[in-house]
Structure 1
Amino acid sequence: MHSILISGAAQGIGAAVARLFCHQGYKVGIYDLNTTLAEQLAAKLGSHARAGYLDVTQYDSWQTALNEFEDWAGEINILVNNAGVLYSGNFEQIPIEAHHRTIDINIKGMMNGCHAAFSFLKRASFARVINLSSASAIYGQADLAVYSTSKFGVRGLTESLDIEWQKYGIRVMDVMPLFVHTAMVHDMQAESIKKMGVHLNAEDVALDILNLVQRKDHLLTPTHRPVGFRSQFLFQLSKISPQFINRLTNLWIARKF
């Protein structure tokens, strides 16, 4: 039985991933700062789920969580770097502390997870890393400047490690949803969410993660998986359009009329 450890798993996309994989027979690690919610979810899912504390910004917290989960599950097969935060609005009006927190959690937290988990994944019989990126990593988004920056960081590290770790049999991939019905998008101050709308739920993202993990032709599986039609369209458009077209498209998305 394969196992999966998910950061930020007490609610939202992380919780949807935990529920889906548990129902598919995986041993599931529900790790979060909010241990109360994590334990409540684990209790609902039953004996194949384990809850634990994880502060992704702290490397030693990752080490503790990984050791605990491996002792319980036997080995760690899948790591999902899901924990993240989002601040929206004009870049200069958001406190610099919020920008720093975005980088600390969304980039450094993921980097900590990949680095700390490497030795566990390397000795596992099957190993995958799935990082939560975003459609905002296709082109920098106005009113989401640092969040978008952080997701470009996720995209870059994912691409690099997917090549580096191929020799160990570890695939590193990401999912790139547009806006998802979670607490993260509540009261967002960005014109893009008004233009593009919210058409995905957490279960849509979880299903794409399951599909990535279970694909048999893993060597042919793309590193990036845009989630939903709108994200797929923007991702493909960015590949074939001149840069000025991409800029004009995103200028229209961001502009208030």
Structure 2
Amino acid sequence: MSQSIFISGAAQGIGAAIARLFYQQGYKVGIYDINVDQAQLLADQLGSNAKAGQLDVSQYDQWQDALKDFVTWAGELNILVNNAGILYSGDFEKTDITAHHRTININVNGVLNGCHAALLYLKKAKFARVINLSSASAIYGQADLVSYSASKFAVRGITEGLDIEWQKYGIRVLDVMPLFVQTAMVKDMDAGSIKNIGVHLSTQDVAEQIFALAKAKGTILTATHTPVGLKSKIMFQLSNISPQFLNRLGNIVLTKRK
């Protein structure tokens, strides 16, 4: 039986790239998104081993319905990718508080909901893995991206905790930490960091890293966090060895508006 993958926020961007790559590799692919029409369009383009469905990740009951729907169709759930996320940029105080709350609700509660609702099915599978979309913004808190950065720190914490806790079930919980990726999310983004660093990663770069993590055999040797791209890897390594004041100074320089 083919292995299966369920992807949240899969109708476009990184999620769609993940869906295409895993479909090409013979997986049964679940394309679930709040934009169900766009999700269905992608599923139709891919073929009979793709299934689309409605999912607002902030709603736990929708996760329950979507996962039940998917597993009934696919047979079991092997890979869960918590990809859905949003981003607001600009001065913290000029961003409406409802936007900050929405960021946390989707980016954090969406991952909590997904992991919690999926465990029932992951425990039953012969092979199961969770891969969360964190970010290089979870290496050090980012100016102009405060609530987004905070949400990705939360994803990092969820990943670390569950990767330890779910050892008893034989389930690894991993994340990827890309820098800015060429998607609609970063178009017209108002943050000094993106102006200084630029956007060098493609959705395919992230999808390929997620595929590598899905296929990795080692249950112990596979790192919990995987930075994506050279700049992200350098930032991640430096943050682990640099004193806090240097990390802060580096991020002040990095995010300074030109």
For normalisation by structure 1, the TM-score amounts to 0.99
Secondary structure of the corresponding residue to residue 188 of structure 1: coil
Partner of 2:191: 190
Whole-Å separation in 2 of the counterparts to 1:146 and 1:51 = 30
Partner of 1:104: 105
Partner of 2:94: 93
Whole-Å separation in 1 of the counterparts to 2:4 and 2:10 = 14
Whole-Å separation in 2 of the counterparts to 1:54 and 1:234 = 34
Residues 191 and 257 of structure 2 are in contact (CA less than 8 Å); yes or no, is this contact kept in structure 1?
A: no
Partner of 2:254: 253
Whole-Å separation in 1 of the counterparts to 2:102 and 2:149 = 14
Partner of 2:80: 79
Partner of 1:5: 6
Correspondence 1:1-257 to 2 at 5 A: 1-257=2-258
CA displacement 1:61-118 (0-9 Å, x = unmatched): 0000000000000000000000000000000000000000000000001100000001
Secondary structure of the corresponding residue to residue 180 of structure 1: coil
Q: Which runs of 4+ in 1 moved over 4 A?
A: none
CA displacement 1:205-256 (0-9 Å, x = unmatched): 0000000010122321000000000000000000010111100000001112
Whole-Å separation in 2 of the counterparts to 1:237 and 1:212 = 23
Secondary structure of the corresponding residue to residue 84 of structure 1: coil
Secondary structure of the corresponding residue to residue 250 of structure 2: helix
What is the one-letter code of the residue matched to 1:22? Y
Residues 28 and 49 of structure 2 are in contact (CA less than 8 Å); yes or no, is this contact kept in structure 1?
A: yes
Whole-Å separation in 1 of the counterparts to 2:170 and 2:256 = 45
What is the one-letter code of the residue matched to 2:173? V
What is the one-letter code of the residue matched to 2:175? D
What root-mean-square deviation, in Å, do the aligned CA atoms of Structure 1 and Structure 2 show?
0.6
Whole-Å separation in 2 of the counterparts to 1:8 and 1:44 = 17
Aligned residues: 257
CA displacement 1:111-157 (0-9 Å, x = unmatched): 00000001110111100000000000000000000000000000000
Whole-Å separation in 1 of the counterparts to 2:114 and 2:216 = 23
Whole-Å separation in 2 of the counterparts to 1:220 and 1:81 = 22
Where do 5+ consecutive residues of structure 1 fail to align?
none
CA displacement 1:14-56 (0-9 Å, x = unmatched): 0000000000000000000111110010001101100000010
